[in-house]
Amino acid sequence: MNDVLDFERYELREELAYRFTPDRREFLQTLGAGLLFVFAADAQNAAPETRIHVGENGHYTVLTGKIEEGQGARTEIAMAAAEELGAPLSRVTVLMADTSQVPNDGITAGSGTTPRTIPAVRRAAAAVRKELDKSAQSVTPADWKVLGTPQVRTNSRDIVTGAHQCPSDVQREGMLYGVVLRAPAFGAKLLSVDEKAAGDVIVVRDGDFVGCAAPTSFSARQALHKIAATAKWDVPTTAVNSTNLFDHLKAKAQSGAASGRNRPIEQGDVDAALQQAQRKLEATYTAAYIQHAPMEPRAAVAEWRDGSLTVWTGTSNPFSVRDQLAQAFQIPAAKVKVLVPDFGGGFGGKHTGEAALEAARLARAAQKPVSLRWTRAEEFTWAYCRPAAVIEVRAALDGNNAIGAWDFTNINSGGSAIDSPYKSVAHRIRFLPSDSPLRQGSYRALASTANNFARESHIDELALAANMDPLAFRLQHLDNDRIREVLQAAAQKFGWKDRVGKKTSNRGIGLACGIEKNSVVAACVEVEIDPRTRLPRLLEICEAYECGAILNPLNLRQQVEGSIVMGLGAVLGEGLQFERGRITNARFSAYKVPRFHDTPSKMDIVLVDKKDVAPIGAGETPIIAVAPAMANAVFAATGYRPRSLPFAPVPARA
């Protein structure tokens, strides 16, 4: 596979997963009365959009193309509207991601809801209020009554009672359950299959797509097993596996591709500076492929009626999935409606619409609604993953302990947070795409985790070479006051100055900081090396974070805490293993994600609230400081420096 990773937006771009044959033989439409306000939206998007509905009962409905996957968009949007409408939060409902009713707010990704959708909602709500009450004044952050207060997710009652229906819970009259025949290895081509082997169920073969639909998922699986037993495949040979992956990525690095968005960030002659330098440090860092593994695997329910298609599915990109469906079935987009019920997690992993296409294909054949839910193994194997990385860093200190040279190359994983916030005399910073053996795409903070891991580890080494406290070294070299502020906040709360350099057996402290998507983070940690696994346990973390004016402090804390523990997973043991085109650990018993016992018993979160700075999205950046802070702490504890994600066990002392 050779998916092109967009340098800045890093979206997965690939061919439509399926292009189905049109088969005519198989074929045989809200809100109540009230006022619907239509606005010309942002200057850059002049199309008028319907945004707010004012019900006769004084209840407001905000319409948005954004989705809710646990990150807090639903509540944040309701709060923004309530604030500007001067209404209590309980009188605002948010209708999300029904492509037949809501404006296209684009994909829910890249921490974009807070900086882009929230202002649009606030403008619309303020305009509605002006319309209803000419004397209304616009609200400034100093007068916020709803925004800036901690609010629980508006529909959380339905969650604790089990009433909320995720995409995999949607049920329709007469619905069947679908399953899809999967190839035994990536790139395998189906040579032959006996579809009749399934018995009395709906079977579809359309090109490489083979699937069954039956009244229960159990009977659908049974039928599929029978078909699978008859399938003959042409399995391509591939020599790339998880053990030689990094050599492969290096060998295939496209150094010639350094143009356009992938142009290196360069200043001075870094090669000459390195040659002349006395104190040089060179290291290679790696990051394994990891999966998002949201608790709810991909799922969709599809229903055809008179040539029109309705699909309920868990995707961050509802309008794109609508268009994919229209393309795959060769019908106008106006005949396709995609609805996204709040779903069970994504973390950047559900930007696509595979399950929607599959369910719709089966539903067309069955002439009944079909629910199709991926299994955990399918999710591990066939969903795209976070790109693996090889990162080469060469750096030098000059006589005054300034960073004389900084040469940083990310191979394969992407350019987010690749730029260094530290002053250097000469530098060259670049991203080189490579040939990825696995399907790769977005992930929470994407490449910034790996880039920050390599950079912040290396900065620690430079501090050591300069014989300086890593905190002091950073404060001296940082070229960014906002990072400096969170770093000092974290260090103070953690008590860094009193704790640094104190030796406790098998324990160490470390720190790291960074910037991504315009928000800044710093973490101080204490780790202990487990004598059995030789891996660190995170005992304590103090993370300071600043993302402008805080909209919902409760949700922000949840995002920061979740990011920390999710980031811990990529440190401690997450990594896809693969061989001969197969993922060999496609299950939670073999692919270890963080559990309760991994969670640090002390987790201090310092939120720096900047009321005068426009709010910045916060679901991603808090993840990037965890790995390097822990690597630096492992070094402080043992003298061994982890250079891979996940960390290798600390070698036992000689």
Partner 1 sequence: MAEFRFTVNGKPRMVNTAPERPLLEVLREDLHLTGTKYGCGEGQCRACTVLLDGKPAITCMLPVKNAAGRKITTIEALAPGPVLHRVQQAFLEEGALQCGYCTGGMILRTVALLEATPRPTEAQIIQTLDGSLCRCCGYSRIVAAVRRAANDAVSGGDGR
Name which position in 185, 223, 388, 566 contacts partner 1 (CB under 8 A): 566
Q: Which is nearer to ligand FES, 179 or 608 (CB)?
A: 179
Check residue 628 for interaction with ligand FES (CB under 6 A): no
Residue in the shown chain whose Cβ atom is closest to ligand FES: 295
How do the residues of the chain divide into helix, strand and coil, expressed in percent and rounded to 5? Answer: 30, 25, 45
Name which position in 313, 558, 632, 638 contacts partner 1 (CB under 8 A): 558
Check residue 353 for interaction with partner 1 (CB under 8 A): no
CB of 541 to partner 1, least distance (A): 11
Check residue 414 for interaction with ligand FES (CB under 6 A): no
CA angle 377, 381, 383 (to 5 degrees): 110
Question: Which partner, ligand FES, partner 1, none, binds residue 482 by CB below 5 to 8 Å per kind?
Answer: none
CA–CA distance, 108 with 117 (Å, rounded to integer): 10
Question: Which partner, ligand FES, partner 1, none, binds residue 289 by CB below 5 to 8 Å per kind?
Answer: none
Q: Which is nearer to partner 1, 74 or 364 (CB)?
A: 74
Residue 356 makes CB contacts below 8 A (sequence gap 6+) with 300, 302, 311, 313, 315, 321, 324, 325, 338
Q: Which is nearer to ligand FES, 45 or 375 (CB)?
A: 375
Check residue 377 for interaction with ligand FES (CB under 6 A): no
Cis peptide before 646 (omega within 30 of 0): yes
CA dihedral (68, 73, 78, 81) positive or negative: negative
How far are the Cα atoms of 21, 28, 321, 385, 578 from residue 314, in angstroms, in the given order?
A: 25, 28, 10, 17, 27
CA-nearest of 454, 396, 139 to 271 is 396
3-state secondary structure of 373: strand
Check residue 569 for interaction with ligand FES (CB under 6 A): no
Q: Where in 178-237 is the site for partner 1 (CB under 8 A)? A: 216-219
CA–CA distance, 424 with 109 (Å, rounded to integer): 32
- Are the CB atoms for 52 and 94 separated by under 8 Å? no
Check residue 510 for interaction with ligand FES (CB under 6 A): no
Check residue 70 for interaction with ligand FES (CB under 6 A): yes
CA–CA distance, 633 with 380 (Å, rounded to integer): 31
Q: Which is nearer to ligand FES, 166 or 551 (CB)?
A: 166
3-state secondary structure of 178: strand
Structure tokens at 184: 């035994």
3-state secondary structure of 300: strand
Check residue 590 for interaction with ligand FES (CB under 6 A): no
CA–CA distance, 341 with 338 (Å, rounded to integer): 10
Q: Which is nearer to partner 1, 379 or 407 (CB)?
A: 379
Question: Which partner, partner 1, ligand FES, none, binds residue 141 by CB below 5 to 8 Å per kind?
Answer: none
The footprint of ligand FES on this chain (CB under 6 A) covers a number of residues equal to 3
CB of 89 to partner 1, least distance (A): 15
Check residue 154 for interaction with partner 1 (CB under 8 A): no
Question: Which partner, partner 1, ligand FES, none, binds residue 110 by CB below 5 to 8 Å per kind?
Answer: none
CA–CA distance, 332 with 618 (Å, rounded to integer): 37
Question: Which partner, partner 1, ligand FES, none, binds residue 469 by CB below 5 to 8 Å per kind?
Answer: none
Question: Which partner, partner 1, ligand FES, none, binds residue 342 by CB below 5 to 8 Å per kind?
Answer: partner 1
CB of 345 to partner 1, least distance (A): 4
- Strand 536-546 and strand 299-305: the pairing is unpaired
User: Any idea which residue has 């404006």 for tokens?
Assistant: 103
Check residue 618 for interaction with partner 1 (CB under 8 A): no
- Pick the piece of the chain touching partner 1 (CB under 8 A) from 151-159, 233-241, 301-309, 629-637: 151-159
From residue 585 to residue 604, the character string flagging contacts with partner 1 as x (rule: CB under 8 A) and all else as - is: --xxx---xxxxxxx-x-x-
Check residue 346 for interaction with ligand FES (CB under 6 A): no
3-state secondary structure of 516: strand
- What's the number of CA atoms in the CB half-sphere (13 Å) around residue 28? 9
- Are the CB atoms for 286 and 390 separated by under 8 Å? yes
Check residue 619 for interaction with ligand FES (CB under 6 A): no
CB of 152 to ligand FES, least distance (A): 13
From residue 359 to residue 378, the character string flagging contacts with partner 1 as x (rule: CB under 8 A) and all else as - is: --------------x-xx--
* Sheet strands (E) in 80-222: 92-96, 176-180, 189-192, 202-206, 209-214
DSSP state of 472: H
- Pick the piece of the chain touching partner 1 (CB under 8 A) from 168-176, 197-205, 355-363, 394-402: 168-176
How far are the Cα atoms of 22, 169, 201, 214, 578 from residue 222, in angstroms, in the given order?
A: 28, 22, 10, 10, 27
In the chain, the amino acid numbered 62 is V
Question: Which partner, partner 1, ligand FES, none, binds residue 485 by CB below 5 to 8 Å per kind?
Answer: none
Q: Which residues, in sequence order, are bridge partners of residue 64?
A: 96
Name which position in 295, 377, 472, 590 contacts ligand FES (CB under 6 A): 295
Site of interaction with ligand FES (CB under 6 A) = 70, 295, 345
Site of interaction with partner 1 (CB under 8 A) = 69-72, 150, 152-153, 156-157, 159-166, 168-169, 171, 177, 216-219, 292-297, 342-345, 347, 373, 375-376, 554-555, 557-558, 561-566, 568-569, 587-589, 593-599, 601, 603
